[in-house]
């Protein structure tokens, strides 16, 4: 167990930070909501002084009709644009540098991300490079290091998962060091988000499942943490409810637009919640696996979530049980202890029904100390998790997630 002094130091840091964040410049993006809203992009861009925008996406999404429509709307309104379409899942520093090069070459003055969390975070990364051209990205790791306005940023999410369209975070990978980490700053909250569920209807069922479980993880980790404020609890509960009510429907019938709309709303709300109340060790572990093995973020979270909740045990039961009842995932008459246990089973069952494995057996034993160190570095002392774990305890968690019999 983490020493009493270590736990005390982490909690003291979190308390000070909790007071501090109340005075921070919180805002939400302006939202264009509903079908056909992509059409309004040019007028929004012009109204914000934009005449030349870098579109950041990936090679698959660049071929989709929705992306082609964006280009058509820009062209017919006389706006200039350039395209970076090489973002990869778990976007890298190299992606960001290449996209920044195009931004500069074409003298762009705004960014439009079309994609899942990877494209949105890549665009945020470009924003950081433009705002702070002399500081290498690895030095921006952590919280409040950018502190300078980035170019006007539009996010058009094509998955219903990360909530990056609402958050202060850009999560980036450094393949040289096998690390993946968040850069958190208020300037990274997009200025405009276009939420059109039609863009998500062709998301394959496996991605619907894993990205939806990512959003559920955001809602749960935010809610069971100690630093909820400013509507984050209500947002987490509503997000959780929308996810448990809709994820299986969207998984089985991708064209069910109501389920898609609800998941998209949930992803936004869960992003709103966790960007105020933080995530926890599920994400720390998922990020380390993304850095080391390129494990897709949603898949990692979906698998890790029940293991970490179980490991927290009594430390999270009260709030987890309450949350589970509030979102209607378990019978309301259960006490919090039983509700929490029942909810963890429910999450496992959700994963099973969507073909998500129980363990990540590719984790190599010899990597575990390095992975645990990275997870501890991300989570401690910042994340107000129900139970502080040090790197040694996190090593145990990696073994559990790998499926090792302890």
Nearest distance, CB of residue 56 and ligand NAD, angstroms:
11
Candidate list 70, 113, 194, 207; residue touching ligand NAD; CB under 6 A: 207
Q: Return the residue of 58, 214, 261, 378 that touches Fe ion, per CB under 5 A.
A: 214
Q: In residues, how long is the chain?
A: 406
Pairwise CA distance, residues 376 & 390, whole Å = 6
Residue 320 near residue 237, CB atoms below 8 Å: no
Both tokens of 389, joined, read: 């774990």
Judged by phi (left if over 0) then psi (alpha if -120 to 50, else beta), residue 159 lies in beta
Measure CA 360 to chain center: 20
β-strand pairing of 169-174 with 179-184: antiparallel
Residue 261 binding: pick among ligand NAD, Fe ion, none (C-beta 5-8 Å cut-off by kind): none
Please select the residue that binds ligand NAD; options are 43, 72, 105, 202, rule is CB under 6 A: 202
Quick check: 190 binds ligand NAD (CB under 6 A)? Answer: no
Q: Which stretch binds Fe ion (CB under 5 A): 86-94, 101-109, 206-214, 383-391?
A: 206-214
**CB proximity list for 97: less than 8 A, separation 6 or greater:** 129
Q: Which is nearer to ligand NAD, 196 or 317 (CB)?
A: 196
Nearer to ligand NAD, 170 or 244 (CB): 170
Going by C-beta distance under 8 Å and a sequence separation of 6 or more, which residues neighbour residue 234? Answer: none
Task: Name the token pair of 151.
Answer: 């170019």
User: Shortest Cβ distance from residue 117 to Fe ion (Å)?
Assistant: 7
Give the CA dihedral 92, 165, 354, 234, nearest 10 degrees.
140
Q: Are 396 and 406 in contact (CB under 8 A)?
A: yes
Cα Rg of the chain (Å, integer) = 20
Longest CA–CA separation in the chain, Å: 63
180: tokens are 């993946």
Q: Where are the beta strands (DSSP E) in 252-394?
A: none
Residue 201: count other Cβ atoms within 10 Å of its Cβ.
15
Binding residue count for ligand NAD, defined by CB under 6 A = 31
Q: Does 121 bind Fe ion (CB under 5 A)?
A: no
Instruction: Build a one-symbol-per-residue string for 24-63: x at contacts with ligand NAD by CB under 6 A, - elsewhere.
Output: ----------------------------------x-xx--
* Interactions with ligand NAD, residue window 283-302 (CB under 6 A): 290, 297-298
| Nearest approach, Cβ of residue 195 and ligand NAD (Å) | 13
From the CB of residue 41, how many other CB atoms can be counted at a distance below 10 Å?
23
Among the listed residues 14, 86, 200, 232, the single contact to ligand NAD using CB under 6 A: 200
Residue nearest to Fe ion (CB): 214
Say which residues have a Cβ less than 8 Å from residue 125's Cβ, sequence separation at least 6: 91, 93, 95, 96, 99, 100, 137, 170, 172, 183
- Scan residues 114-173 and list those touching ligand NAD (CB under 6 A): 115-119, 121, 158-159, 161-164, 167, 169-171
The nearer residue to ligand NAD, 58 or 317, going by C-beta atoms, is 58
151 binds, among ligand NAD, Fe ion, none (CB under 5 to 8 A by kind): none
* Cα 91 from chain centroid (whole Å): 13
Distance CA 168, CA 336 (A): 32
Stretch in the footprint of Fe ion (CB under 5 A) among 192-200, 213-221, 309-317, 381-389? 213-221
Nearer to ligand NAD, 164 or 351 (CB): 164
Is 21 in contact with 55 (CB distance < 8 Å)? no
Cβ nearer to ligand NAD, comparing 268 with 341: 268
58-97: contacts with ligand NAD (CB under 6 A): 58, 60-61, 89-90
Contact range with Fe ion by CB under 5 A, out of 74-82, 87-95, 207-215, 243-251 = 207-215
Whichever of 70 and 308 has its CB closer to Fe ion, that residue is 308
Query: What is the closest distance, in whole angstroms, from the C-beta atom of residue 119 to ligand NAD in the complex?
Result: 6
CB of 296 to Fe ion, least distance (A): 11
**Contacts to Fe ion by CB under 5 A:** 214
**Contacts to ligand NAD by CB under 6 A:** 58, 60-61, 89-90, 115-119, 121, 158-159, 161-164, 167, 169-171, 199-200, 202-203, 207, 211, 214, 290, 297-298
């Amino acid at each position: 167990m983490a020493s009493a002094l270590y736990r005390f130091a982490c909690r003291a840091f979190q308390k000070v930070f909790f007071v501090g964040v109340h005075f921070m410049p919180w805002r939400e993006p302006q939202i264009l909501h509903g079908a056909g809203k992509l059409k309004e992009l040019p007028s929004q861009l012009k109204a914000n002084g934009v005449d030349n925008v870098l579109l950041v996406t990936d090679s698959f999404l660049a071929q989709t009709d929705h992306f082609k429509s964006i280009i058509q709307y820009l062209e017919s309104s006389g706006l200039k644009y350039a395209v970076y379409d090489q973002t990869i899942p778990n976007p890298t520093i190299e992606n960001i540098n290449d996209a920044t090069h195009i931004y500069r070459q074409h003298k762009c003055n705004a960014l439009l991300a079309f994609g899942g969390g990877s494209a949105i975070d890549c665009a945020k990364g470009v924003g950081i490079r433009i705002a702070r051209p002399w500081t290498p990205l690895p030095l921006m790791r952590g919280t409040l290091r950018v502190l300078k306005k980035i170019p006007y940023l539009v996010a058009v999410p094509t998955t219903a998962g990360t909530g990056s369209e609402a958050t202060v975070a850009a999560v980036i990978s450094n393949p040289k060091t096998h690390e993946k980490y968040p850069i958190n700053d208020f300037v990274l909250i997009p200025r405009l988000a276009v939420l059109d569920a039609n863009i998500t209807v062709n998301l394959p069922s496996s991605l619907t499942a894993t990205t939806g479980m990512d959003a559920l993880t955001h809602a749960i980790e935010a809610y069971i943490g100690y630093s909820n404020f400013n509507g984050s609890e209500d947002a987490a509960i509503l997000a959780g409810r929308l996810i448990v009510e809709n994820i299986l429907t969207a998984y089985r019938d991708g064209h069910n637009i109501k389920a898609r709309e609800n998941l998209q709303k949930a992803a936004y709300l869960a992003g709103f919640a966790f960007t105020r109340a933080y995530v926890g060790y599920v994400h720390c572990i998922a990020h380390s696996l993304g850095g080391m093995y390129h494990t897709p973020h949603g898949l990692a979270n979906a698998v890790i979530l029940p293991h970490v909740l179980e490991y927290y045990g009594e430390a999270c039961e009260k709030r987890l049980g309450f949350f589970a009842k509030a979102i209607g995932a378990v019978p309301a008459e259960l006490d919090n202890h039983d509700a929490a246990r029942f909810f963890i089973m429910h999450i496992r069952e959700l994963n099973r029904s969507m073909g998500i494995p129980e363990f990540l057996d590719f984790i190599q034993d010899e990597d575990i100390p390095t992975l645990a160190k990275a997870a501890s570095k991300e989570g401690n002392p910042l994340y107000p998790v129900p139970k502080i774990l040090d790197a040694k305890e996190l090593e145990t968690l990696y073994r559990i997630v790998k499926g090792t019999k302890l």
